[in-house]
Amino acid sequence: MVSGAPANDVDLECRRLVKRFGGLAAVDDVSFTIAEGSFFSILGPSGCGKTTLLRMIAGFQYPDEGDILIKGRSIVSVPPNRRPVNMVFQHLALFPMMNVAENIAYGLKRRGTPRSEIAPKVQAVLERVGLPDSGPMRVDRLSGGQKQRIAIARCLVLDPALLLLDEPLGALDLKLRERLKVELKELQSQVGTTFAYITHDQSEALVMSDHVAVMNEGRFVQVGTPQELYFDPQTAFVAGFVGDSNRWTGRVEDADTTGVKVVTADDLSLLGAPAGAGGLARGDRVEIFVRPESIILGHDATRLGAVDNRVRGRVENILFDGANSRVMVRDGASGHEIMVTLPQTGEFAALSRGQEVHLGWTLAQAKCFPAGDDAARAGAA
């Protein structure tokens, strides 16, 4: 698992890492471990400290506090080129004057690998990344996705214990990113190298990773499997950052063992379940999250069954996107716009703007977090 694992199963361990720039703690007391052969992602908004963290692991930046261990040994005083770690950058730097094979061979030559071993190693890694015939090609003839695979091949050929990837798909168009995230996951499981991958794209992190750390303002807010983060977020920040949600703010009117009754800022009365650490009491300010796919949509109220929360509204907009289609419904009472996943049954194929619909969801699907919880955790409140 993520912490406290025995050292021999752990490729990387960071202990209480801190990096300050002036008064700002870009990385603020971060501890975690990555198990050997796993795909670990660090997911967080721009500026939260992801690159700074990776640069410390690679050795390009020296931590102010804390320790970094690879296979149980501290590497903080080992220079970058002597660490069993390689880094793939967001803005990759292939050498334009060299062909693909020369680009990949570069690191091996610098390391003094015998000439006779270089060509077979280069060919083997090109096959691993699915570009076996590209060796003689000029780098500027490659597509963006091919360049990215060559950049990864150039690191893999050095056989690192740990590959660090800093938003390697960030510069590519959406379609290509969609394809490469599947390829990259397959590649990682084939080669078995440990990957530490940073991204601000939650879909990339969820699709590829064994474990994901959600990072905000220099800290790890939650570490877990993609499913744990999605279904059991521990803070409002994670609930809001991972996956889509409908969101309300409100105040607890009543609390008992079955759940809480909340009145939202726009005067909707909801039943919800306390989420995260600590309970909720009458009078507490809360943020409520309901996923669009957990809302039942009906032409009338009979469809909803025994749900705890019901809303009647009008279709404001239909966002057709094949299997990911959604409808925006304006709640007639509160005026709140609610996003609902459109069922794939065809029952709502003729749904049109302005039509009245009924919505319902259970108490368990309305997760209530104390408002300002994340700020309090980050010590910024």
Residues that bind ligand ATP (CB under 6 A): 21, 24, 26, 44, 46-52, 200
Select from ligand ATP, Mg ion, none the partner in contact with residue 363, using the beta carbon and a kind-dependent cut-off of 5 to 8 Å.
none
Select from ligand ATP, Mg ion, none the partner in contact with residue 48, using the beta carbon and a kind-dependent cut-off of 5 to 8 Å.
ligand ATP
What are the distances in angstroms from CA 337 to CA 2, 72, 310, 340, 366?
A: 38, 52, 14, 10, 16
Question: Is 268:288 a contact under the CB 8 Å cutoff?
Answer: no
Select from Mg ion, ligand ATP, none the partner in contact with residue 149, using the beta carbon and a kind-dependent cut-off of 5 to 8 Å.
none
Separation of alpha carbons 16 and 29, rounded Å: 4
Select from Mg ion, ligand ATP, none the partner in contact with residue 84, using the beta carbon and a kind-dependent cut-off of 5 to 8 Å.
none
Query: C-alpha angle with apex 184: 181 to 185, nearest 5 degrees?
Result: 90
Select from ligand ATP, Mg ion, none the partner in contact with residue 364, using the beta carbon and a kind-dependent cut-off of 5 to 8 Å.
none
Separation of alpha carbons 12 and 194, rounded Å: 9
In angstroms, give the least distance from the CB of 48 to ligand ATP. 4
Select from ligand ATP, Mg ion, none the partner in contact with residue 370, using the beta carbon and a kind-dependent cut-off of 5 to 8 Å.
none
Residue 89 vs 230, nearer CB to ligand ATP: 89
Residue 204 vs 287, nearer CB to ligand ATP: 204
Residue 51 vs 188, nearer CB to Mg ion: 51
Question: Is 102:95 a contact under the CB 8 Å cutoff?
Answer: yes
In angstroms, give the least distance from the CB of 166 to Mg ion. 6
Name the residue among 228, 226, 215, 232 with its Cα closest to residue 289: 232
Q: In what order do the strands lie in the sheet with 296-298?
A: 296-298, 356-361, 309-319, 326-331, 337-341
Select from ligand ATP, Mg ion, none the partner in contact with residue 21, using the beta carbon and a kind-dependent cut-off of 5 to 8 Å.
ligand ATP
Residue 47 vs 107, nearer CB to ligand ATP: 47
Separation of alpha carbons 103 and 157, rounded Å: 11
**C-beta nearest to Mg ion: residue:** 51
Question: Is 88:54 a contact under the CB 8 Å cutoff?
Answer: no
Residue 55 vs 154, nearer CB to Mg ion: 55
Number of chain residues interacting with Mg ion (CB under 5 A): 1
Residue 44 vs 276, nearer CB to ligand ATP: 44
In angstroms, give the least distance from the CB of 51 to Mg ion. 3
Residue 85 vs 340, nearer CB to Mg ion: 85
Separation of alpha carbons 341 and 221, rounded Å: 28
Residue keyed to tokens 């794939």: 344
Separation of alpha carbons 204 and 242, rounded Å: 11
Select from Mg ion, ligand ATP, none the partner in contact with residue 200, using the beta carbon and a kind-dependent cut-off of 5 to 8 Å.
ligand ATP
Select from Mg ion, ligand ATP, none the partner in contact with residue 103, using the beta carbon and a kind-dependent cut-off of 5 to 8 Å.
none
Separation of alpha carbons 7 and 281, rounded Å: 42
In angstroms, give the least distance from the CB of 114 to ligand ATP. 38
In angstroms, give the least distance from the CB of 50 to Mg ion. 5
In angstroms, give the least distance from the CB of 213 to Mg ion. 15
Residue 24 vs 97, nearer CB to ligand ATP: 24
Question: Is 53:63 a contact under the CB 8 Å cutoff?
Answer: no
323 DSSP assignment: B
- Is residue 199 near Mg ion by the rule CB under 5 A? no
Residues 43-102 that bind Mg ion (CB under 5 A): 51
Question: Is 192:141 a contact under the CB 8 Å cutoff?
Answer: no
Residue 158 vs 198, nearer CB to ligand ATP: 198
Direct distance between the N- and C-terminal alpha carbons of the chain, in angstroms, rounded to an integer:
31
Site residues for Mg ion per CB under 5 A:
51
